[in-house]
Amino acid sequence: MDKKEALKTAAYEIFSKKGYKATGISEIAKQAGVAVGSFYNYYESKEAIFLDIYIDENNRVRQAMINEMDLKLDMVELVGKIFKQSRNYVSSNKILVEWYNPVISKELHSYYSSEEGKAANPFYQFLLKTFTNRMVEEGYSQEKIQDILQVYNLFYYMDMNIAENEFPNIGRTLEILATNFIKGFLK
C-alpha cells in the first residue's frame, strides 16, 4: 500500500471512531506509519483528507441506498423512502454526520455545490436521471419536467447552503417540502 492510501485508511478508521474534531493529523500519520511532515506531501490539511474520506464514504453509502431502492414505488413513497434511508444511514455514520458540523460543513457544502462536486456525485446524478426517466415514461411534457428539475435543483441548493446551526432541522424541513411538493404536483 502506498503512503497516500495508508493515510486514507488510517484517517477513515480514526474519523469513523472519533469524528472530525477529535482527530488530529499526527494521529493519522502515526497510524499510517508516515511522518507528520510527509502527510503534507499528500494532503494540504486535515480538511483535505477529510473531504477525500467523506466523498468515498458518501458514495459507498449512497450506492447502498440505490441498491435497496424500489423504483416502482409511487413517487411520494419513493421520495419519503429516500429521505428515511438517508436519515438512517447518516445518523449512524460518524463521517457522514459531519455534514451538519459547522467546523467542516462549509468545506463539504462548497465541494458538493460546485459543478465538479455535482458531476462527481453519483447519487445526485442517479436521482436526476431516475426522476427524469420516470417523468418521461409517465408522459409529462418537457416543460413540466424542466420545472420539476428546477425545484429539485432548489432543494439541492438549500441542502448545500443551509447548515443545521443556521436552520435547525433543515433535513426534516427539506423532506416535508419535497414530499408535499410531489403530492401537490401529482394531484
Q: Give CATH superfamily name and number for 1-44.
A: Homeodomain-like (1.10.10.60)
What angle is formed at CA 113 by the lines to CA 137 and CA 22, rounded to 5 degrees?
Answer: 125
Of the candidates 81, 50, 154, the residue with the CA atom closest to the CA atom of residue 162: 154
As a whole number, mean pLDDT of residues 168-174 equals 87
Taking residues 108-136, report their average pLDDT.
92
Q: How far apart are CA 181 and CA 76, in angstroms?
A: 9
| Model pLDDT for residues 33-92, shown as the tens digit of each residue | 999 999 999 999 999 999 999 999 999 999 999 999 998 888 889 998 999 999 889 888
Structural contact between residues 123 and 62, judged by C-beta atoms closer than 8 angstroms: yes
Eight-state DSSP code of residue 98: G
Cell triple for residue 183? 403530492
End-to-end Cα, the chain, rounded Å: 56
For the residues 117-132, what does the mean pLDDT come to?
92
CB < 8 Å & 24+ apart, contacts of 37-41:
38/3, 39/7, 41/3
Spatial contact of 4 and 40, defined as CB atoms under 8 Å apart:
no
Helix, strand, coil shares of the chain, percent, nearest 5, are 75, 0, 25
**What is the pTM assigned to this prediction?**
0.89
Q: Which three-class secondary structure state does DSSP give residue 95?
A: coil
- Whole-angstrom distance, CA of residue 177 vs CA of residue 159: 12
